[in-house]
A and B are shown apart, each in its own frame.
Chain A
Amino acid sequence: MAVTAMDVYKLLPKTNCAKCGEASCMAFATKLKDKEIGLEICTQLAANEFDKLADILAPAVREISIGKGAKAMIAGGDEVLYRYELTYYNQTPLVIDISDDMDEAAFDERVKKIEEIQFERTGELLTLDAIALRNKSGDASRFKEAAEKLKNANLALVLCSFDADAMKAALEAVGDERPLIYGATENNIEEMATLALEYDCPVALFVPNDLEKMKELSRTLRAKGITDIVLDPGTYVNAGIGDTLDDFIMIRRLAVEERDEDFRFPIMGVPALTWLNTEEDEVNTAIKEATIATTLINKYADIMIIHGTEIWELIPVLTLRQSIFTDPRKPQAVDAGVYEIGEVNEDSPVALTTNFALTYYTVEGDLKSGNANGYLLVLDTEGRAVDVAVAGGQFNGKAVADLIKESGIEDDVKTRKMVIPGLAAPTSGEIEDDTGWEVVVGPRDSSALADFLKEKV
């Protein structure tokens, strides 16, 4: 069950010393519970209380770091089943596979491609997180050689082989970089566990579609003192996706609601399995892989291995990940008011948009990349997008009139003409009535706004 502020408060010194910056221990407890502040800030805690608190504040799903230094990534850390209850933690790392039997040039090219994939969205650069090296050759020395090469890559590493000898060989090369060992199965669990302990690396447990067995094996690993475990209950991509969803959801429920120690670990999804014996062409297989990735990232995948590297396949997955990992407690809004774009003077044009962060950054980005100059009026729509704010009534004539008055835009420019978003066309009449400004209905998508301002205004 989720920890409450009161549970935390009970273990705090209750001195209200305020050295942590909070007015009282209760306020500090609330922030601790919401993970908005770190426990170490409290200077009055005795060591044993610190440990107790650290334990009850530990996330329902263990956070596991893979890779070291600049390559490190974190999987897991979630506390809740639904993001609205709190927020989800640690964006699901996206891992792309590569096989150890590729010829050198193809291998290098694929590594480069994985490293370079990026997509910019609302001011954030979305990228991939790791490379999964598959021991396709079945040959230990080849696996080791390929792993050695990946030392130079700038991403974390997942080593995929069910052969403990091959795994040992690869760990000899890269074991000090904290790769994820993938993986332990019913057949090799003793050997893989030994390697995980020897090299102090996290290990993934692969038990397809059998949670009973998974629980048992997770327990086996834990009994050996292994704490960094990743659970892969198998990814089925056709009719079996139903079972996979059930497995993922059950594991997460058991972790969050029952605090079942055997399941309090990150879950791995492998959309790459879409490519196993596929009967579809490459395009359709890639679309399907994105579909599977969507399904799993929505329902608790904490790390995923993907095979496709086409940017059109990855953009939607990266975007979905960005969306569901935004913190619902923070309003996604920018301050309302007037913003200057490029060079402005009293003859500059004026355009109107909303204060929804996504909308604002999109419009701002479009105006800047289109080398537009002008003023951008940003209306407080309580962080809603244009169409939603029009339908919801926040985008209205009176609100725009207030914005004009409060922003003082009438002192900055001579014009009394503004461009409103195409999606806000139904409000053009009331804006004219309430503001006395002339309203020009602009394009429906702001990608056309820069040209529109230059040509039509």
Chain B
Amino acid sequence: MDKIAQLLKLLENTDTIELNEFRMDFEELELHLMPAVQQVVGQAQQAAIVKEIMPAEEFKPPIHDYPGEVAEVQLGAGSRKQVFLGGQKALYRFEEPQPNPPVVTFDVFDIPMPGLPRPIREHFEDVMEHPGDWAKKAVKDFGANMVTIHLIGTGPKVMDKTPKEAAADIEEVLQAVDVPLVIGASGDPQKDPVVLEAAAAAAEDERCLLASANLDLDYRKVAKAAVDYNHAVLSWAITDINMQKTLNKYLMKEGLTQNDIVMDPTTCALGYGIEFSIDVMTRTRLAALKGDTDLQMPMSSGTTNAWGSREAWMKKEEWGPTDYRGPIWEIVTGLTLMLCGVDIFMMLHPQSVKMLREIGETFTKEYMTTEVPDISNWVSQLE
């Protein structure tokens, strides 16, 4: 024992020991030296503890440098108020707050839409005959920053309204409100481009968002209408980042720039594949910040899809009232995608819109600049 202590003392100021012609039987070594090794280890541990409780190394927020940034898209011009989407230079606000908060646009339809769920109908029942009144109510009563007018009635199997009638509906909505518009068609690949072209002409220089261009229809016509009449285009791909890149490239070839395109990577509702949307949107935004110029546009979510989920609308006593389930389903769907970077949400229910906005508005604030309540005694204070 003493010899070992002496040996250790000798070695105190030694960094390395060179052993020549040394042969070791491991088990034997363990047996003979065990007590001393333990003692040495004990000392080492203590040393480690002393080191550990030294003041913690300084906390440094994990801030990244991003070579790319998200393009800013202006919606609304002429007689419209202006809304800006995108413009992020970082992923999170502790790195750099985003310049524009996420925006919600209320869905309005050109026909009364008997299929809308009751919790929504009850808010808009009195105005559903006239898209202008409907839009006005969304803005006046529910503070909509934007309105989406869906020209569902132009669908050949719906009411087969002509492009001219569609243009008249657009004019009605333009007259009724001064917020920017998203103009949606019926989803008919043959007719949509023609309808959107007529609507774009009716709203010339008002900088609306034409929804949408995709690879299944004549996207050139949609792009040309946007260029000719000063609008932006929604570029819609089906949860496929490569399809999105391709389409964006094509649209830019037609004369649109990053500042004229908003992407819709497709919103799969909560419980119906939302994880696919999460992955695609996350990857898209990361690609934008890494510098992929084909993916640097703001993103949009058709959050209204949430209302198709049975958990949102189906009467079922053991699931509780649909009055609450519907709005929550829309909130959870939208909010989840907002946390993946989505900039504009198409939504239906006023309460969902309110909740989403509350959280979205924090995205433009600096870290630790908000007054927070004292929660240090929540365990006993909570009712």
Task: Name A residues whose Cβ lies closer than 8 Å to a Cβ of B.
Answer: 82-84, 97, 99, 119, 121, 134-136, 138, 160-162, 182, 185, 208-209, 211-212, 215-216, 219-220, 222-223, 234-236, 238-243, 245-246, 249-250, 253-254, 257-258, 262, 270, 272-273, 275-277, 283-284, 286-288, 290-291, 294-295, 298-299, 307, 310-313, 315-317, 319-320, 322-324, 326, 328, 356, 358, 385, 388, 391-393, 444-445, 447
Contacts of B359 in A (CB 8 A): 241-242, 291, 295
Contact with A along B44-57 (1 / 0, CB 8 A): 00000100110110
Shortest CB-to-CB span from A231 to chain B, Å, is 13
Interface centre among A215, A216, A245, A317 (most CB of B within 10 A): A245
Give the CA-CA distance A312 to B368 in the complex, in Å.
33
Partner of B355, one of A208, A257, A287: A287
Assess whether B324 is in contact with A273, with CB atoms less than 8 Å apart: no
Q: Which B330-383 residues sit within 8 Å CB-CB of chain A?
A: 331-332, 335-336, 339, 351, 355, 358-359, 361-363, 365, 367-368, 370-373, 375-383
Cβ distance B31 to chain A, nearest Cβ, rounded Å? 17
Q: Are A243 and B367 in contact (CB under 8 A)?
A: yes
- Indicate if the CB atoms of B331 and A273 lie closer than 8 Å: no
Q: For B214, what are the chain A residues with a Cβ–Cβ distance below 8 Å?
A: 391
Task: Say which residue of B216, B266, B272, B379 sits within 8 Å of A135 (CB atoms).
Answer: B379
Chain B residue numbers with a CB within 8 Å of A212 are: 56, 58-59
When C-beta atoms are compared, the residue in chain B nearest to A359 turns out to be: B272
Q: CA of A99 to CA of B328 in the docked complex: distance in angstroms?
A: 27
CB distance from B114 to the nearest CB of A (A): 13
What is the chain B residue whose CB lies nearest that of A252? B62
Which of B94, B329, B380 counts the most chain A CB atoms within 10 A? B380
Q: Which of chain A's residues has its CB closest to B53's CB?
A: A223
Task: Please tell me the number of chain B residues within 8 Å of chain A, measured between CB atoms.
Answer: 71
Q: How far is the CB of B351 from chain A (nearest CB, A)?
A: 7
Q: What are the residues of chain B within 8 A of A241 when measuring CB–CB? A: 359, 362
Interface segment, one of B67-75, B221-229, B278-286: B278-286
Q: Are B372 and A84 in contact (CB under 8 A)?
A: no
Seed contacts A243-B368, A270-B378; 15 additional CB < 8 Å A-B pairs: A97-B382, A121-B271, A211-B59, A215-B56, A220-B53, A238-B373, A242-B363, A243-B370, A316-B328, A320-B270, A320-B274, A323-B271, A328-B275, A328-B279, A358-B272
For A257, the chain B residues whose CB sits under 8 A away are 62
B205 at the interface (CB under 8 A from A): no
Once bound together, how far apart are the Cα atoms of A245 and B216, in whole Å?
39
Query: How far is A134 from B377 in the complex, measured between Cα atoms in Å?
Result: 11
Give complex CA distance A136, B378 in Å.
9
For B274, the closest partner residue in chain A by CB is: A323
Flag if A273 contacts B382 (CB, 8 Å). yes
Which of A84, A249, A273 is close to B92, meaning CB atoms less than 8 Å apart? A249
Please tell me if the beta carbons of B382 and A275 are within 8 angstroms of each other in the complex. Answer: yes
Return chain A residues, CB-CB under 8 Å to B93: 242, 245-246
CA distance A239 to B331 in the complex (A): 17
Across the interface, B336 reaches (CB within 8 A) one of A238, A298, A358, namely A298
Given contacts A287-B351, A311-B320, contact A358 B273 (CB under 8 A): yes
Residues of A near B61 (CB, < 8 A) are: 211, 250
- 7 tightest Cβ-Cβ pairs between the two chains A and B: A242-B362, A312-B320, A223-B52, A240-B372, A84-B279, A212-B59, A253-B62
Q: Are B59 and A323 in contact (CB under 8 A)?
A: no
- On chain B, the residues within 8 Å of A356 by CB distance are 273
A295/B52 contact (C-beta < 8 A), A236-B373, A288-B355 known: no
Residues of A within 8 A of B383 (CB): 275
Bound CA span A288–B358, Å: 10
Q: Do the beta carbons of A240 and B370 come within 8 Å of each other?
A: yes
Q: Is the CB of A208 within 8 A of B278?
A: no
Q: Which residue of A lies closest to B330 (CB)?
A: A316
CA distance A323 to B276 in the complex (A): 9
B218 on interface, CB distance cutoff 8 Å: no
B22 close to A (CB within 8 Å): no
- The 8 Å CB contact of A316, one of B58, B59, B332, is B332
In-complex Cβ contact of B335 among A82, A294, A323 (8 A): A294
Let me know if B52 and A276 touch, CB within 8 A: no
Given the complex of chains A and B, what is the CA–CA distance between A392 and B376 in angstroms? 52
Cβ contact within 8 Å between B335 and A316? no
Residue of B nearest to A307 (CB): B382
For B266, the chain A residues whose CB sits under 8 A away are 388
Can you name the residue of chain A whose Cβ is closest to the Cβ of B243?
A392
Q: Are B92 and A246 in contact (CB under 8 A)?
A: yes
Chain A binding surface, main DSSP class: helix
* Shortest distance between the CB of A352 and any CB in chain B (Å): 18
* Cα-based distance from A328 to B49 in the complex (angstroms): 42
Q: Is the CB of B367 within 8 A of A236?
A: no
A294 touches B275 (CB 8 A): no
The residues of B that contact A294 with a CB separation of less than 8 Å are 331-332, 335-336
A246 contacts across to B, CB distance below 8 A? 92-94, 367
Among residues of B, the one whose C-beta sits closest to the C-beta of A81 is B282
Q: What is the bound-complex CA distance between A209 and B372, given in angstroms? A: 9
Task: Tell me the bound Cα distance from A253 to B61 in angstroms.
Answer: 9
Chain B residues lying within 8 Å of A388, measured Cβ to Cβ, are 238-239, 266, 268, 273
Considering the chains assembled together, what is the distance between the CA atoms of A96 and B351 in angstroms? 25
Tell me the minimal C-beta distance from B62 to chain A in angstroms.
4
Nearest-neighbor residue (CB-CB) of A211 within chain B: B59
B336 cross-chain contacts in A, Cβ below 8 A: 294, 298, 320
A219 proximity list for chain B (CB < 8 A): 52-53, 56
**Within 8 Å of chain A (Cβ to Cβ): is B123?**
no
Q: Are B370 and A242 in contact (CB under 8 A)?
A: yes
Query: Is B294 among interface residues, defined by CB-CB distance under 8 A?
Result: no
Bound CA–CA A234/B55 (angstroms): 23
Complex Cα gap A161–B328 (Å):
32
Stretch at the interface among B146-154, B164-172, B310-318: B310-318
Closest Cβ of chain B to A199, distance in Å, is 19
Chain B's closest residue to A101 (CB) is B380
Chain A residues closer than 8 Å to B56, beta-carbon distance: 212, 215-216, 219, 262
Residues of B within 8 A of A242 (CB): 93, 359, 362-363, 365, 367, 370
Cβ of B327 within 8 Å of any chain A Cβ, yes or no, is yes
Q: Which residues from A are CB-within-8-Å of B355? A: 287-288, 291
B74 to chain A, nearest CB (A): 25
B274, B278, B318 pick with most chain A CB within 10 angstroms: B278
- State in angstroms the CA–CA spacing of A188 and B359 once bound together: 33
Determine whether B321 belongs to the interface, using a CB cutoff of 8 Å to chain A: yes
C-alpha gap A377/B82 in the complex (Å): 50
Q: What chain B residues lie within 8 Å of A290 (beta carbons)?
A: 328, 331-332
Q: Which residues of A contact B361 (CB under 8 A)?
A: 239
For the complex, what is the distance from the CA of A57 to the CA of B328, rounded to whole Å? 39
- Whether the pair A276, B331 counts as a contact (CB closer than 8 A) is no
Closest to B356 in A: A291
